[in-house]
Every structure is written in structure tokens, then in C-alpha cells.
Structure 1
Amino acid sequence: MKFEDQIVLVTGGNRGLGAQIVRSFAREGAKVVINFYQNKTQAEALVTELNTHDEKQVIALQGDIRDREAMRELFEQARRAFGVPITTIVNNALVNFKFDPVNRQNAENITWEDFLGQLEGAIQGSLNTIQAGLKDMKEARFGRIINIGTNLVQNPVVPYHDYNTAKSALLSFTRNMAKELGVFGINVNMVSGGLLQTTDASSATSEDVFKMIAQNTPLGKVTTPAEVADTVLYFASPWSRGVTGQNIMVDGGLVMN
């Protein structure tokens, strides 16, 4: 399906990497739903920025990804707004987490509740969006689901125990969904970036850390949100129709697998 025929949901699409993913899909002509949880002003500003030619190309809808009924309602609102159901889901939202290597929870003080919080955001949130859109995707015999991971799963250079573990689970979740849903024409993949320069979540990271990453990366620079966003587009494009259950690293070659 061409981009201009797709209705794309980007969870956490009001800021950081999510906002850049929204911009990339809008640039290619897709209709986009920005899902936000709290910052309505930020989401509406992005809608205003992008709706320069088509007033309804981009819309913003509030909803907590951890709330199953909220996601079902969001999908219905999107259908009413565009006249057709969501075709493409980007599970990007990051719940209550900052990449702060100094003040992170370490092995002695991290709690099970910390793990649960990240698992709820990564797994429960992704499950809720997929289940909300699954009936329509099956009927259309088409669907694209892209989950946002991290290269810290393969190489936990900073042991963010709760975040890294949740993203590890998301990789398994991605592959299991890909196995079951492929027969319905639904492709499920993951895009895993490195530490991005700079998003809200990475704002606590020092310049020294970014410099170290650049020095140890084959491309000699820190990955940007725009570079990750364009790789997300690949998994939604017609060129990826034969690809599912895969995890692409977008980190300048820092992690190779």
C-alpha cells in the first residue's frame, strides 16, 4: 500500500522521536494520527505545523496506551475523522523514563514496580493498539506494525534495567505477532535506534557520552531522530512487503548483528 493510502498511528507522536516519525510520514503523503497522553498543546502545535496543504492530513487524539478501552475509542475516532480505519501502527510511546546514566536505578535500588512500569508501556501498550486495529487489518488483508526498540538490548552499555528488559520483551513480542499475523497480510517489525541526539528522553545525557558514542561508531556520529524515522518508513513501504519479524539497528553501526 502506498503511503498516501495509509492511515498511520504514532503513539507518543507529540514529541521526540515520535514527532519526527509523524513528520516523515506526513512528508510522504500519509494521513497521520498523533497519539498523546498529557501534552495536548505540544500535539496541537505539531498538527498546525504539518497541516499546511490538507487540513485533515494530521490529527491529534488523546489516549493512554495502557488503557485498552481508550485505544479502542481512539481507533474509532480516527476512523470517523478519515472515513477509513488505521492501516499502520507505530508503537513508539515511552512511559515515564529518562536516559540519565547518572541517576538511573541500579541493581541495588531498582524495584519490581519499576520493571512493571516499563513492561506496561512497551508490551501492554503495544498489545492494546494491535488488538484495537486487528479486526480491520485482517479484513483488509493488510497491516503494518512497527515497534520501536533499542540497541541496548544487544549491548547494554548503560544498564537501564527496567527499560532494557522491557524492550527485550518487546522484541520477542514482535516476533510472535509476526509469526501469527503474517497469514493475514500483516507485517510486524522493529526498529531499534541508539541513543538519539537529542530528544526529550535523552536530554539528561551529557555531551561527553555523545562524544564517546560518536568516536566508537563506524559512521563517526550520533544517530538522529530523523534517521530512525526514515527507517520506520521503510517497514511501512511497499518495498518491505516480504519482511516481517525483523529488527533493524539504526545506530550508525555501533551494534552489528
Structure 2
Amino acid sequence: MIDLRGRRAVVTGGSRGIGAAVVRALAACGADVLVGYRARGEDADAVAADARSVGVRAESCSADLSTRDGVRGLFARAREALGGVDILVANAGVWPSEDVPVERLDDERWLRTMRENVDSMFYCAREAARVMGDGGRIVMISSTAGQRGEAFHADYAASKGAMISFVKSLAVELGPRGITVNSVAPGWVDTEMTADAMASGGRERIAATIPVGRVASPDDIAFPVVCLCAPQARHVTGEILNVNGGSVLCG
């Protein structure tokens, strides 16, 4: 039912994990895709090749999304390679894995988390709003942490909480143009980013806290992202779609 042929998407953080799964899912629905990445060029190229294998246009582009110029360069490449932008999936971000209480949370970690998760979100959304035509789609990857907090990761939770408020604000601004703005909020996902937490029995302990009893795969997150990009989702905007096995409902 989801036909995205003729639609042009930018996916940030597309070289691995959730971003790579989103690229492949968008391509499977017919969208052309620009795979944004920071440093993992070979991985990004491989993801783009996977997308091209199903008959769509796909390229990769390195960019530092924490800077205005980096984001401008990414979108310029999208216009050059794809002819424009209809969809933005803002997936790039960091999750500092070390547990740190607020009294020991140093300026460097706080500022890095805000640069990578908040500044990049703002720059990407602003550029998308400038270049995207009417009827576009913006989907941002937030987190359960942005809704209920996360002890010892207050920087990360604050950054994702900011994203949630930003999504709701932007949805109202862009609604008259038919551009929808939504967020998908995963809980634990089996990716390279969470590998340390999953090790040494961590996966089993985490799964036991999730009502459905399992940790999500990247494909579990990609599916609702693509649904929000579909033409049929034109009346869904400003929403935070929880894709976390019910864990956000638990204490």
C-alpha cells in the first residue's frame, strides 16, 4: 500500500542501525534516497548500493550535522543527486553509554550531546523547511528517554525531550503547507550503539523490562517511520509514535 515512487528522501545517520534500515525500507517502497553519514563511508556506500539494487537512485554523503554549513552541504548534495527533497528522516545522534550522575556530568559531554542531538536536529529541520515543497514529510527519531527521563543520562534525555517539543512546534508551523512533522520514539534497539549495554546478559535483563519481552530490531523502527512518510499519513502530524514494546508505560 505504501508507494513512494518519485519521492526523494534524506536519511541522516544512514550508514548503520536504524538509519540503514530506514534507507532500505524507503527504497523498497520506491523512494530515492541520500544516505547521510559522518565518517563511515564504506558502510554508507554499501547501504546506498543496497537501495540501488531495488531500482531507485541512491547516493551517500558525508556531513557534520552539528554545523550549519555541514547541513547545507548535505541538502545541496540531495538537490544535486536527487533533484530535490520531499522526505527528511532525522536519525543521526549520540547516546553516551557511560552512566554519569548530574553532579559529575561535565561540560564537554553536555555540550557534545546538545550539538549532536539538538543543534543537528534544528539545522536539518530548518534546511528542510527551506527547500522542501508542499506535502513533504519530516520524521525525527526521538526516544522513550525524552518522555520519561533517564537517570544517569540526563543529557541524552534532555536532548530527546527538546526534540519532542520541537516536533510539536514545527508541525503547527508547517501544517498549512501540507508538510507533516512527526517523531518515532524507540526504546531499546539492537544496534551497534547499544552493544555494550546488551553484552554479558544485558539483553536478557533489558528484555525482561519490556512488556512484549523482546528488544526491538532496526527493522521494527523502520516500518513505522516509512508509514509516516506515506501519502496516506497526510493527516497525522505533531505525533510521538512510541515503538518500544510498551516500555514507556512502565516505571
Task: Return the TM-score normalized by structure 1.
Answer: 0.89
Give the Cα–Cα distance (whole angstroms) in 2 for the partners of residues 39 and 21 of structure 1.
17
Give the Cα–Cα distance (whole angstroms) in 2 for the partners of residues 252 and 158 of structure 1.
20
Q: One-letter code of the match for 1:75?
A: F
SS at match of 2:34: strand
Instruction: Report the equivalent of 1:169.
Output: 162
SS at match of 2:61: strand
Instruction: Report the equivalent of 1:91.
Output: 90
Instruction: Report the equivalent of 2:123.
Output: 128
Paired residues in the alignment total 248
Residues 134 and 179, structure 2, Cα contact 8 Å, conserved in 1: yes
Instruction: Report the equivalent of 1:118.
Output: 113
**How far apart are residue 124 of structure 1 and its match?**
1.2
Instruction: Report the equivalent of 2:14.
Output: 13
Q: Give CA-to-partner distance per residue, 1:117-152, whole Å, 9 cap, x none.
A: 112222211121122222332xx3121111101112
Q: One-letter code of the match for 2:38?
A: Y
Instruction: Report the equivalent of 1:200.
Output: 192
Alignment of 1:156-235 (within 5 A): 156=149, 158-197=151-190, 199-205=191-197, 206-235=199-228
**How far apart are residue 114 of structure 1 and its match?**
1.9
Give the Cα–Cα distance (whole angstroms) in 1 for the partners of residues 103 and 40 of structure 2.
33
Residues 123 and 173, structure 1, Cα contact 8 Å, conserved in 2: no
- Point out where structure 1 has 5 or more consecutive residues left out of the alignment: none
**How far apart are residue 255 of structure 1 and its match?**
1.6
CA RMSD of aligned residues (A): 1.9
- Point out where structure 2 has 5 or more consecutive residues left out of the alignment: none
Instruction: Report the equivalent of 1:251.
Output: 244
Q: Does 1:147 align with 2:148?
A: no
Task: Return the TM-score normalized by structure 2.
Answer: 0.91
